[in-house]
Structure 1
């Protein structure tokens, strides 16, 4: 276990000599807003490393430098949460990046295959997951915990090489690179507090209620970040919906709400919340935010969208690619409505060639779907 900056720097220098490094982290986030980093695992073809970020005096700068090294591919599985941690602590994102879960979807392993399933299918190895929900803050970590943690990056080396070979053989390397561009974008991990309302389900029907919901969600986001506690510990989602409809600006009104704990209305936090409500109520009627509306599909477009879903399933199965990587339900609705002019990813790049063009042919009556020998297939008209 690496516990000093000098040892970490020495290890990172050695790891940087490889073309790629597999990376994983163990963290706890049940009681904090930001994930608490408890362990870093890294491996190159000839070196395996465990780093203790909780060690006193340890500086993670060598780790961040390695993550920024453009000559080394950083390999993760289901990278989003790991990248969120790196971005928060180091104010940077690893690049170049390779996410084996995304690559597996492109290679036909399903929509969201787990790491242990992928390892089993590609290498035949079995991973003992019994230490998965351990307390990674506890010290010292025992041998079983360390072995489990290390397995997350040692098997990943073989998984990466096999997927990389498959992508190159099928000519799909650039498909994965397009997906990695999204993960390498800071906006993916740093949603502005004023956009915090987008995390909530839209149960609001009036513009004024919507304005209150936006301001209260923004207040909760800032409060949770400042106190480093989960959002739900500041205020539950259901309480936001109730406040958005009742507009409490005084402690007495706040105390009457079902979702507000008894006595909380007199707290300093409650004062901040009521100030947020007042700010929303002060917005002139003409400036109130418009409620997002689901676009209404033109007549016949709903049926066309259903046909496009069947076509997507056919294309995904034929090409051994997870359907969700090719197109979303929203993509299909827009293609059904706007055809060639649909501004969606499914109509650009490799997705257009794979699916977008056949979709337009289906809408134009140039191809048809038929059921034969217990399966649906596409035929030219």
Structure 2
């Protein structure tokens, strides 16, 4: 739900109340679609998802300061207040960060906190943009923004919602429940226009899949379910999804993804690749998470050039992927020399 809009341009800041009766948000959505205006966000995905669902558009072009900060070496998933302090030396008051922005009226302190969220964003944007240009990394960020501005990023089919979740199930019936409940939550979240986690948390879905509660009493005994929630109308709908999955005939249950047998030496190769990733991240002054995920590492260790992972594509391949492949092929080695870990040509 779009509860508050915070906007700033040099010399001017504004708060817009989208919950005000009769307010027309069309000018705001036109601004979001304007290709001549760069929209700057911090940790943009959730904000963009709300705009996609309410305005039926993906904001573009955009600049995500959290992603840019990782590219510029400010660490993994740096928070807005940390970034503001590091760049502008301003310490933000975080006492209102847990505000429920749906409720009115908002206090002066809450309004000041909301404005601060964008007031310093301009200086952060200018600093990061200059650093990206200076270090010739603007194209790195451009590739990342293409993912954030892709419609497919925000419009997964409800039946595919389970793919967002980690595979913590071991039986076909558990997977059937996981799929059914995840699809129900996705539809419910879209209909009510709220984040998925406000419907039910991921951990609760895992526990429901494993325990398979058929009624409200069984649901209420689960550790991840808030006391009394099992009697709500939402819980009734959830139990409907669980029981629908339990009614699936045994021979029609989904098959668990096969665990592929990894080639011999994969684990050892992955450990070496992690060291290589740390070396290159430090050399480049960039967060390791931006260069490669743990899954990227595992896939490269197991399949080398055949691994279909982001670390072997675009700028990541040039910075990390090629060296990773050379390490796996035995063309370079890692050496401890003069109290430092260095790369060595073989």
TM normalised by structure 2 equals 0.86
Tell me the residue number matched to 2:208: 239
Of 22, 33, 40 in structure 1, the residue corresponding to residue 5 of structure 2 is 40
Report deviation, 1:201.
4.4
CA contact (8 A) 2:10 2:122 kept: yes
For each residue in 1:40-93, what CA deviation from the matched residue of structure 2 results, as whole angstroms up to 9, or x when unmatched? 111112322211112221111100000000011100111112112212211111
83-92 vs 290-299, which deviates more? Answer: 290-299
For each residue in 1:230-273, what CA deviation from the matched residue of structure 2 results, as whole angstroms up to 9, or x when unmatched? 3329x942233211xx7x5xx6xx75664498996998964884
For each residue in 1:203-223, what CA deviation from the matched residue of structure 2 results, as whole angstroms up to 9, or x when unmatched? 432324422432244334435
CA contact (8 A) 1:208 1:281 kept: no
Q: Residues 266 and 39 from structure 1, CA distance in 2 versus in 1: closer, same or farther, beyond 3 angstroms?
A: closer
Q: Does residue 281 of structure 2 align to residue 313 of structure 1?
A: no
Secondary structure of 2:4's aligned partner: strand
Report deviation, 1:372.
2.1
> 1:231 & 1:54 partners in 2: Cα distance?
21
CA contact (8 A) 2:72 2:132 kept: yes
Tell me the residue number matched to 1:79: 44
194-203 vs 144-153, which deviates more? Answer: 194-203
For each residue in 1:70-125, what CA deviation from the matched residue of structure 2 results, as whole angstroms up to 9, or x when unmatched? 01110011111211221221111110010011001001110111111111111222
> 2:27 & 2:290 partners in 1: Cα distance?
34
350-359 vs 336-345, which deviates more? Answer: 336-345
**For structure 2, which runs of at least 5 residues remain unmatched after alignment?**
none
Tell me the residue number matched to 1:129: 94
**For structure 1, which runs of at least 5 residues remain unmatched after alignment?**
1-35
TM normalised by structure 1 equals 0.79
CA contact (8 A) 2:6 2:118 kept: yes
Secondary structure of 2:130's aligned partner: helix
Q: Residues 49 and 271 from structure 1, CA distance in 2 versus in 1: closer, same or farther, beyond 3 angstroms?
A: closer
Q: Does residue 175 of structure 2 align to residue 207 of structure 1?
A: no
> 2:37 & 2:335 partners in 1: Cα distance?
48
> 1:275 & 1:148 partners in 2: Cα distance?
40
For each residue in 1:14-36, what CA deviation from the matched residue of structure 2 results, as whole angstroms up to 9, or x when unmatched? xxxxxxxxxxxxxxxxxxxxxx3
81-90 vs 287-296, which deviates more? Answer: 287-296
Computing the radius of gyration from Cα coordinates, the structure with the larger value is 1
Matches within 5 A, 1:1-381: 36-223=1-188, 225-226=190-191, 230-232=198-200, 236-237=204-205, 238-243=207-212, 248=214, 258-259=221-222, 270=236, 273-274=239-240, 277-278=243-244, 281-283=247-249, 285=251, 287-381=252-346
Tell me the residue number matched to 1:23: none
